[in-house]
Structure 1
């Protein structure tokens, strides 16, 4: 199976190594120092229990890699426009594109049913390029549960031994194309499950992002330090309750208790990826990860006072740093 990883940050580098170890003919789209490092020595994943290594064909030009059976997109939301413009040479008639990213995905209302079925979220696809050039029929949803960071170009460190990926079809079907990808990655050591309710899993991961990323952006502290402060814990709990209310109003159940999320946060000595972006001077996903919750809340008339405040503060922090990398959320009908 030919799999191309589009984006070689922490998540992309980790998945690439697992794909290669799982037996796939794996290639990578990367650029700059990361591309040079991959060409020179491949990718190293520093896991708690062992060090993993793999080498790859890598390029900044998709045409150099050719048609794939699957493409796994792991870039941040601000880079999705470039993905849409350049991914074409990787796509054949049957190529599936798995989006393993944080936040509400661009295809969210495709085959969702209900009153908003078919709506386009222009938050991360403002010109409709992903919808038009890739198409939601090719898309698989992917939710990554892995605390990881880039130590240096081509070197990824995992914060814990428990890492998993959940994937699923927007329409809820249990398909052979999803199973093939899951089998490869699981064989490579990344537990990958196929779900028929991918939107529930999206919201479940979003709870972790909400609890950790916003306050971390404001404090530049690790998650455990933040959660140990009672006022911060109360703010986390309020944001989680509001997020769950929005999810349920849209017909989804994250299936996670607030106490469980808080317990996880108190044990997580890790800087969330959005804080890593701030400290590295990279564009931040404030709107596409957090602001979109406010827009979805408006659609179903759910009040979110704590989220309104905290997302606004995080947006101002990113804007002050010159790193507000995504556009204000807009929702348009298809």
Structure 2
């Protein structure tokens, strides 16, 4: 089984290192100093306080790696449409594209059923680049739970978590999903195959939709924005709007809004990814995490006043910073 991880930053690097340690045939696509460091000294993984050098095959040009059985995409959502063509050398007739990207996935309405079956989402897939470039039948969904960070080029520190939930758009327990699950499990990662992956997508999205833009606007860490009465109320309002949208699409939430916000507070003084991107001068994931939910609100006829307000503010914050 040949596996390529496209976008081997923190999460992709962590997964790649674990697979390589387990003897899997894995390659990584990366760029810049991070790539150079991995090519020179291997990928260094810091886990439970111990640092290990993991030899990996890494390249910037996918053509060097050839066709793969699985291409696991761990880029930020806004980066994917622009690299669809570059990924072509990795894609063979039977290649499975695993979408390990935050936010509403571009394939959301593939094999969803109902009146929105086959609907394309402009906010996450402008011009249908992924839908037309990959083809939705190739896709296997993935909800990413680990936290990791690149602390210097070629060095990834695993913070917590090791679960990558997998799921087919139609909910089936396919051979390709089971095979990848077994390979990830052999590498010490949890990789359950879920029949209702969209439910998990929404539970994670609940937090990303609200906590990320609020933190970018206020610079507050999770423990603060989830306990301050004002920002907690804003987050709750956004999440309730999202819940109405999701439930109209058939999603079932295993927990309520209050518990989800309490879970965010329990994480502690964590700076969300959007705040980290803002501070580091990196493009912000506004479309995949917030604008996509607004788009779904329009499609389902759900009013989203709280989401609309926060989206307008964070979008302007991003534009002023030159990051959106």
TM class, shorter-length: over 0.9
The match for 1:294 is 294
Question: 1:43-78, CA deviations, whole angstroms, 9 ceiling, x for partnerless residues?
Answer: 233334644542211111111001111110011122
Q: Residue 85 of structure 1 aligns to a residue in which SS?
A: coil
1:17–1:52 contact (8 Å) kept in structure 2: no
The match for 2:276 is 276
Matches within 5 A, 1:236-315: 236-268=235-267, 269-315=269-315
2:81–2:129 contact (8 Å) kept in structure 1: yes
The match for 1:153 is 153
Structure 1's 159 and 60: CA in aligned 2 closer, same or farther, altered over 3 A? same
Structure 1's 53 and 142: CA in aligned 2 closer, same or farther, altered over 3 A? farther
Structure 1 Cα separation of the partners of residues 157 and 270 of structure 2: 11
Query: Comparing 171-180 with 42-51, which one deviates more in the overlay?
Result: 42-51
Structure 2 Cα separation of the partners of residues 173 and 251 of structure 1: 17
Structure 2 Cα separation of the partners of residues 273 and 65 of structure 1: 30
Question: 1:182-224, CA deviations, whole angstroms, 9 ceiling, x for partnerless residues?
Answer: 1122221221111111211111110121242111111223211
Question: Are 2:42 and 1:19 equivalent residues in the alignment?
Answer: no
2:77–2:103 contact (8 Å) kept in structure 1: no
Structure 2 unmatched runs, 5+:
none
User: How far apart are residue 17 of structure 1 and its match?
Assistant: 1.4
User: How far apart are residue 18 of structure 1 and its match?
Assistant: 2.1
Question: Are 2:202 and 1:215 equivalent residues in the alignment?
Answer: no
Structure 1 Cα separation of the partners of residues 6 and 137 of structure 2: 19
The match for 2:63 is 63
Structure 1 unmatched runs, 5+:
325-334
The match for 1:45 is 45
| TM-score, scaled relative to structure 2 | 0.95
Structure 2 Cα separation of the partners of residues 52 and 218 of structure 1: 37
Structure 2 Cα separation of the partners of residues 89 and 76 of structure 1: 21
1:20–1:54 contact (8 Å) kept in structure 2: yes
The match for 1:204 is 203
Structure 2 Cα separation of the partners of residues 229 and 259 of structure 1: 14
1:5–1:26 contact (8 Å) kept in structure 2: yes
Query: Comparing 146-155 with 169-178, which one deviates more in the overlay?
Result: 146-155
Alignment root-mean-square deviation, CA: 1.6
Structure 2 Cα separation of the partners of residues 3 and 101 of structure 1: 17
1:149–1:273 contact (8 Å) kept in structure 2: no
Question: Which of 1 and 2 has higher RCO (CA within 8 Å, sep 6+)?
Answer: 1
1:147–1:270 contact (8 Å) kept in structure 2: no
Structure 1 Cα separation of the partners of residues 259 and 19 of structure 2: 31
Question: 1:294-328, CA deviations, whole angstroms, 9 ceiling, x for partnerless residues?
Answer: 1111111112221111121111111110001xxxx
Structure 2 Cα separation of the partners of residues 78 and 302 of structure 1: 25
| TM-score, scaled relative to structure 1 | 0.92
